Every structure is written in C-alpha cells, then in structure tokens.
C-alpha cells in the first residue's frame, strides 16, 4: 500500500524526456534529490553525459539515454532498453519541446516539423510508456505544458524587444492540456495517473530576458516576477510521488498567479 504522506521517489524508475534545457536541468536536480532512479532521454547524448556525470558526483542515481521523440521506433527501443536494465517504469515526465517555427509568417514546413515532435511525438511517447505502466498496474505521467496553453498571446509583453511568441506553441500546449484529460480517463482504471503542469515564464539567468519584458511580465503576475526554474520541480516530484495517488487529469498552474489575475 503506497504511503500517501510520502513525497519520496526512492525506488521509483522515472524517465524524463528533455533534460538539457533551462527547465530540464532543474527537473533533473529535483527528481534526483527526491531519490528517483532517473533516466534522462533526449537527442543530445554528449550534453546529457555531462549532466549525468555532475549529478552522479553528487550521489544521485541519474542515467542517460538517447531518443528521438519524432520516431516511434526510437521510443520503443528506449522502452525496451529501460525494461531490460531496470525491469520497470514507474513514471515519465514529458518535458521535451521542439521550437522550429520562427514567427507567424514562417514557412508551413516549420509548423509541420513542430507538430511531428510536439503533437505526434508527444502522443507516441505517452502511449508507449502509458501502455507499459498499464501492463504493470501503476504509474504516473507528468506533462510539462505552459500557461500559453490556456491563455492567448499578449503582444504588449514583447513590444520594443526582439522577443516574440510562435503560434504553434499555443496550439500544441493547449492540445497537451486537453489530451492529458483524455489520457487520464483512458488509463484511470489501469491505475496510471496523467497530469499536466503549466509553468509561467521562467527567468533565464544565462541569457536574461529584455528588461522591458521582465518589468511588464512581472506586472501581469500576482507575485511580481518570472519563475526561477527550480521552483517548478517540487510540483513535478509531488505528481510523481505517492502523495498524489488520488490526483489525475489535473492541470496545475505554476505561474505566480498570472492566469488567476
């Protein structure tokens, strides 16, 4: 019987898709600290190896593997390797995103390329690993969406900066949020929970956003600022842990009150 007061991921085999970006690195830190046996999978093995080495040096159980989310064969091969090596999958975090579309007027091929990973690849991933966890009789899927999956584009935020927001992102993040509800319903009686978190904008200390953007963005939130990447991890750990065994189909906003204001 799972302990509903346990936030620990000790003993749980978790696969995180996408781990080298701003949020991905913070999630690796959070899941590793919570005790998960973590397999981080994305396309760039070299960057992943560096990440895993620094996590292992801190005593974390972090492995890396390579996957192309745009290929079902690649996903199935990853599943087979993880089952052969670890014997089970207890949870996945879908954190990967592809950003090929450069602006509203971009060629439609960029939209199609985005959908290959962010729509088709996303579904192929959750189906491959959802079915694997359903066979075992338990599991948790956490999808990383964005507040942009719920609200429209606000051009005022970007005025006078080189920043912009691409339309494909609003489409596939919105789709991710509602597909999460479908998946939660599909897998519910198989004891596989499916939830989504919707972070607000994350401050990038390595390449800070324009000052004008930061000031306007802060005013749109209740807390007066962007998120720091480590602030997202606790919610993902919670949704993977036994502390959330009765939560499924939920969309958890982690946006400093942006979408509630």
Ligand X SMILES: NC(=O)c1ccc[n+]([C@@H]2O[C@H](COP(=O)([O-])OP(=O)(O)OC[C@H]3O[C@@H](n4cnc5c(N)ncnc54)[C@H](O)[C@@H]3O)[C@@H](O)[C@H]2O)c1
Q: Site residues (CB under 6 A) for ligand X?
A: 18-24, 42-44, 67-70, 95-99, 117, 144, 146, 199, 201-202
What is the token pair recorded at 139?
A: 């599991």
Question: By C-beta, is 66 or 242 nearer to ligand X?
Answer: 66
**Gyration radius of the chain's alpha carbons:** 18
Integer Cα distance of 198 and 138 in angstroms: 24
Distance from the first to the final alpha carbon of the chain:
40
User: Which among 54, 58, 122, 136 has a CA at the least distance from the CA of 93?
Assistant: 122
Give the residue with the Cβ less far from ligand X, 2 or 257.
Answer: 257
169 is catalytic: yes
Q: What is the DSSP letter of 154?
A: -
Which is catalytic among the residues 104, 169, 203, 258? 169
Q: In terms of C-beta density within 10 A (0-12 exposed, 13-18 middle, 19 or more buried), how is residue 207 classed?
A: exposed
**What's the min distance (Å) between Cβ of 56 and ligand X?**
18
In the bound state, the residue with its beta carbon closest to ligand X is 21
Output 3 or 109, the one with its CB closest to ligand X.
109
- Complex with ligand X: residue 96 or 184, whichever CB lies closer: 96
HEC assignment per residue over 11-57: CCEEEEECCCCHHHHHHHHHHHHCCCEEEEEECCHHHHHHHHHHHHH
Nearer to ligand X, 24 or 130 (CB): 24
Q: Taking the complex as a whole, how short is the minimal distance between the CB of residue 124 and ligand X, in angstroms?
A: 11
11 Rama sector, left if φ>0, alpha if ψ -120 to 50, beta otherwise: left
Whole-angstrom Cα distance, residue 106 to residue 58?
A: 44
Neighbours of 245 (CB within 10 A): 16
CB of 98 to ligand X, least distance (A): 4
* Least distance to ligand X, CB of residue 112, Å: 14
Which CB sits closer to ligand X, 70 or 139?
70
Q: Read off the tokens for 128.
A: 């491959």
**Nearest-approach distance from CB 127 to ligand X, in angstroms:** 16
> Cβ neighbours of residue 154 under 8 Å, at least 6 residues apart?
220
Active site residues: 169
């Amino acid at each position: 019987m799972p302990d509903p007061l346990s936030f620990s991921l000790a003993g749980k085999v978790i696969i995180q898709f996408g781990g080298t970006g701003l949020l991905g690195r913070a999630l690796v830190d959070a899941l590793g600290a919570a005790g998960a046996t973590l397999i981080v999978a994305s396309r760039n093995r070299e960057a992943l190896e560096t990440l895993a080495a620094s996590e292992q040096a801190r005593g974390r159980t972090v492995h890396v593997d390579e996957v192309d989310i745009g290929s079902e064969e690649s996903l199935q091969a990853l599943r087979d390797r993880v089952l052969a090596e670890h014997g089970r999958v207890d949870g996945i975090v879908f954190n990967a995103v592809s950003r090929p579309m450069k602006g509203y007027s971009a060629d439609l091929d960029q939209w199609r390329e985005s959908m290959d990973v962010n729509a088709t690849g996303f579904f192929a991933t959750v189906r491959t690993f959802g079915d694997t966890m359903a066979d075992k009789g338990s599991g948790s899927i956490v999808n990383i969406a964005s507040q942009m999956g719920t609200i429209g584009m606000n051009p005022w935020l970007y005025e006078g900066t080189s920043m912009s927001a691409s339309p494909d992102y609003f489409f596939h993040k919105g789709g991710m949020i509602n597909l999460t509800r479908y998946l939660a319903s599909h897998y519910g009686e198989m004891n596989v929970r499916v939830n989504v978190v919707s972070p607000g904008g994350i401050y990038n200390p390595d390449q800070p956003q324009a000052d004008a953007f930061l000031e306007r963005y802060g005013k749109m939130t209740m807390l007066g600022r962007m998120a720091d990447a480590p602030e997202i991890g606790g919610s993902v750990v919670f949704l993977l842990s036994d502390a959330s065994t009765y939560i499924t189909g939920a969309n958890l906003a982690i946006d400093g009150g942006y979408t509630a204001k």
